[in-house]
Amino acid sequence: MSVVKSITFESGSIVVTTDEGAPRRYMVKDILRAADIPVLTIGSLTLLTTLAQVVMVLVRTLIEHDILDENLVSGYDMQYVLDTLTVDLKAEDTD
């Protein structure tokens, strides 16, 4: 049985390197079809933004009530969560 050493992505393919030799390339088109990808609509994007805003309110409320502190799991903190919500998901900061 071979052991996977790394998985990388190259244009149009996934490259799997094992301990048994040369890397193997798998074409994305052979794995993933367009029908497998959900269609994003304005409605679903609006819903995601609303969800991000609700999560932001929840996180801030939990911090204010000392239920959560600024530290999460290793490598992540609340500022990361809040930045992701505001910058990446465009949730509006209510402060």
Q: Pairing mode, if any, of strands 4-10 and 24-27?
A: unpaired
pLDDT of res. 71: 62
- Residue 95 maps to a domain: no
Alpha carbon distance 92, 94 (integer Å): 6
pTM reported for the whole predicted model: 0.42
Instruction: Return the SS3 of 49.
Output: helix
Q: How high is the pLDDT of residue 72?
A: 60
How high is the pLDDT of residue 70?
A: 62
Residue 76 has pLDDT above 80, yes or no: no
Q: What is the mean pLDDT of residues 60-83?
A: 71
Q: Within this chain, do residues 76 and 48 fall inside the same structural domain, yes or no? A: yes
Query: What does the pLDDT read at residue 69?
Result: 67
Q: Per the domain annotation, does 94 fall within a domain? A: no
Based on the domain organization, do 53 and 82 belong to the same domain? yes
For tokens 């798998």, name the residue: 26
Determine the average pLDDT of the residues in 71-75: 59
Q: Judge if 49 and 13 occupy the same domain.
A: no
Cα separation, 17 vs 7, in Å, equals 6
Beta-sheet pairing, 13-18 with 4-10: antiparallel
pLDDT in tens, 3-56: 888 888 888 888 999 888 889 998 887 777 766 667 777 777 777 777 877 877
Mapping DSSP to helix (H, G, I), strand (E, B) and coil, where does residue 21 land?
coil
Q: Is 79 a member of any domain?
A: yes
Token pair, residue 46, equals 């609006």
- For residue 91, the one-letter residue type is A
Whether residue 25 is contained in a domain is answered as yes
Confidence of residue 73 (pLDDT cuts 50, 70, 90): low
Count of domains forming the chain: 2
Residues 51 and 80 in one domain: yes
26 and 50 both lie in a single domain: no
Whether residue 81 sits in one domain with residue 48: yes
Structural domain boundaries enclosing 59: 42-88
